[in-house]
Amino acid sequence: MTVEIAEYPSPIGTIVVAVREGRLCALAFSDGWPRRRRALERRFGTVELRAAADPGGVVNRLAAYFAGSVDALCHIPVDAGGSPFQRRVWRALRAVPPGRTVSYGELARAVGAPAAARAVGAANGANPVGVVVPCHRVIGADGRLTGYGGGLDRKRWLLAHEGVTLGAGRDGR
């Protein structure tokens, strides 16, 4: 199976994208790419990675997003795989607009599993297309920033870029 890949030099680190049949199937900061690549191989088996300038138009949309069009990622087609529960969580995440945040509990209620905040957290941690499926928009019930695969500094930057104002006690420190 062939997967097209490209790199985008974002303000918060190089992002590697992987697109299969026109759908984004992996996105990772370069420091997390080896792990994401292994996950692609577990999911699809033998994968031939082919360099492309702008697979699926994702690079151009990332450029627009980082240039200030924070809704530029909203309509990128994704094929994230995952379990039925993970896919429900990821669909709900895509419904959280730029500039807004949601708690794990609120997201659990949104997917019809109000007691599953921890499972929602696990689904966020397994998200293979972060930034596009915006798991950075999920915060703790107390407003604090919590784990993010790209690191809390990147999460903080992404939220600020989208216009989220983090007040006292909301900056993860």
Query: Which domains occur in the chain, in start order?
Result: 2-66 (3.30.160.70), 84-161 (1.10.10.10)
| Residues 84-120: tens digit of each pLDDT | 999 999 999 999 999 999 999 999 999 999 999 999 9
Walk across the sheet containing 48-51 and list its strands. Answer: 23-29, 13-20, 2-10, 48-51
Report whether pLDDT(74) > 80.
Answer: yes
pLDDT of the residue at 167: 63
Q: Which of 135, 145, 158, 159 is catalytic?
A: 135
Q: What distance lies between CA 162 and its chain's CA centroid?
A: 14
Q: Is 135 a catalytic residue?
A: yes
Q: What distance lies between CA 118 and its chain's CA centroid?
A: 18
pLDDT of the residue at 170: 43
Report whether pLDDT(27) > 60.
Answer: yes
User: Of the ranges 58-67, 83-92, 98-107, 138-147, which one carries the lowest mean pLDDT score?
Assistant: 138-147
User: Of the ranges 64-73, 127-136, 158-167, which one carries the lowest mean pLDDT score?
Assistant: 158-167
